A and B are shown apart, each in its own frame.
Chain A
């Protein structure tokens, strides 16, 4: 706990504010932790890096945790990552054990969060140390690997790869920047676009548009319906919470938190995968699998420990390789760029105090989340009744602030927001996946520099295979991930055909 002394009182306050706002975002169905971070980014413009990160990490942890409230009380996951919490959480509410379910979820969240902080603290510097030796060639292959992993785990392999490549393509619009060794010429645009797009699309308006506006447009399409509130949102204390519930669940806690942390490390897969995966594992290992889904604490523990385990896990590739582990950490990259800091293998070594503060802030965020939610759960539960007609206009307004202020007042950035909001809405309709697209967009420019510079200095394509044993190893991983996804695609389509015949 000594590490907590690294935080200034101001930072602790910011973490607390972040956690509170995050819980509100998480608890309102349809609004996610990613959105919370994206919408609140402008607040960090006036802060320094460690304070800004304190706020954003608070939002992250709060946002992921808040999702359990409507999942348990209304059977609607507040964020995608609490999807499996509904399986057992809501049946518990129906049995009159709502408060118990919430508290089980909160304690599991705390455990998952702390577990992942521990893994992050240990693992990120190790991975970064290893990655420091990477030349441009290995760095390019790492990005290629990240893209194939994202694609192979997305709903549809072909469309997943397409989405990622489209993201890369979008990132290349603009100038091949001299500061990274480019020749300063523009490409992928017509002449009349040059005044606006000389520097390409700014990352933050793109992110805010894709995560903030898209959700509003989707709601608008559905007519901004308010959630029908069940009459039983009152928390009768028929079943009291005690730590005794966790007896015999220690293995479940550790397994779920580990799954969450691991899934977090893989780029581009969100909390919903973590939550569902650890729920099914809990069911596989359960002594009474038939009871799962009828309202047992075991299911809530599995889902909530894993989705909070995601937080620390997703930060590992971000802080050691510069590759975001999920959509929220993708937005966090925005916060770093804002302060002019590039995340990558050198980050931890060069910014040791910031790294320590990140760990401390994450730790504090989990503890504050626990205190707020555990003792004030009755009031937090009321948040889900905030009407949409109050909330959504405010969100668009905050999106505008975020877009406009990022480059100190460029109106084109605000239009970028709308452009990508509408684009994202349409893209999802035709099945393009947003998360691979975003990660492609973030990594695209670096990929270009690594690729072109490698060719310039070695003059042959074979160097990507022969540079070092690490390069060969990365190729093996790339082929494995592609092979894995082709295998699962074939297996799935066979199963579909089979079930089609049976039906």
Chain B
């Protein structure tokens, strides 16, 4: 009886397939949890949606589409261009330096509210100085690799 019970827990691990054992367990647990969450919270939520009490949209009341998607698009362009430009000057960090200036300038413009001459001057200077200082300290002084 005891033997039969303990053999229930016997596991032999095949080394060549051992890389799949733990991920499999975690995936199953993850799916079970997802199911549980759906049962506990998802169904009442959907019921509320059907009754018109709630909407499916998860965004808050104020959602600044321009600034949100603008930030993401700018960041993607920044990453792409920095890699591209950086390939022309290997190991100099110029891709980072040359593309950070316009990126910071444009993102600042996107962020700012109530732009006036003083703010424009401040953000332009910042866009020039910040990347230059960062590039000089990191790439030149500390020899850190930059794109």
Contact = CB atoms under 8 A, between A and B. Distances in A.
Interface of A: 42-43, 45-46, 158-159, 161-162, 165-166, 168-169, 172, 175-176, 182-188, 216-217, 220-226, 387-390, 392-394, 396-398, 400-401, 404-405, 408-409, 411, 414-415, 418, 422, 429-430, 444, 447-448, 451-452, 455-456, 459-462
Contacts, number: 187
B10 interface: yes
B21 to A, nearest CB: 6
A158 B123 contact: no
Contact of B79 (A220, A389, A400): A400
B30 interface: yes
| Most chain A beta-carbon contacts within 10 A, residue among B26, B40, B63 | B26
B15 A397 contact: no
B146 to A, nearest CB: 6
A388 B33 contact: no
B25 to A, nearest CB: 8
23 contacts: A45-B142, A46-B141, A46-B142, A162-B34, A166-B30, A183-B19, A184-B19, A187-B20, A223-B113, A389-B119, A393-B126, A394-B126, A394-B134, A400-B78, A401-B96, A401-B134, A401-B144, A411-B79, A411-B147, A415-B79, A452-B13, A456-B18, A459-B13
B68 interface: yes
Size category of the B interface is 35 or more
Contacts of A216: 71
B144 A165 contact: no
| B-side interface mostly | helix
A396 B75 contact: yes
Given A169-B27, A397-B100, A422-B72, A42 B138 contact: yes
B142 A165 contact: no
A460 B7 CA distance: 8
| A-side interface mostly | helix
A460 B10 contact: yes
A202 B15 CA distance: 26
Nearest to B131: A397
B65 to A, nearest CB: 9
Contact of A165 (B9, B33, B41): B33
A222 B123 contact: no
Contact of B147 (A217, A398, A409, A447): A409
Given A400-B79, A460-B6, A161 B33 contact: yes
B49 interface: no
Contacts of B103: 393, 396-397
B20 A220 contact: no
B96 to A, nearest CB: 7
B108 A390 contact: yes
B60 A221 contact: yes
Interface in B9-53: 9-13, 15-16, 18-23, 26-27, 29-30, 33-34, 36-37, 40-41
B64 A221 contact: yes
A400 B96 contact: yes
Nearest to B142: A46
B111 A188 contact: no
Nearest to A164: B33
A159 B40 CA distance: 11
Contacts of A401: 96, 134, 138, 144, 146
A460 B16 contact: no
B14 to A, nearest CB: 10
3 A-B pairs with least C-beta separation: A176-B19, A223-B64, A46-B142
Contacts of A400: 78-79, 82, 96, 100, 147
A408 B146 CA distance: 8
B67 A394 contact: no
Given A165-B29, A401-B134, A462-B6, A183 B104 contact: no
A415 B82 CA distance: 12
Contact of B11 (A166, A418, A459): A459
Contact of A183 (B9, B12, B18, B83): B18
Given A176-B18, A401-B138, A221 B104 contact: no
Contacts of B110: 224
B55 interface: no
A394 B130 contact: yes
Contacts of B34: 162
A182 B18 contact: yes
A387 B121 CA distance: 13
Interface in B57-100: 58-60, 62-64, 67-68, 70-72, 75-76, 78-79, 82-83, 96, 100
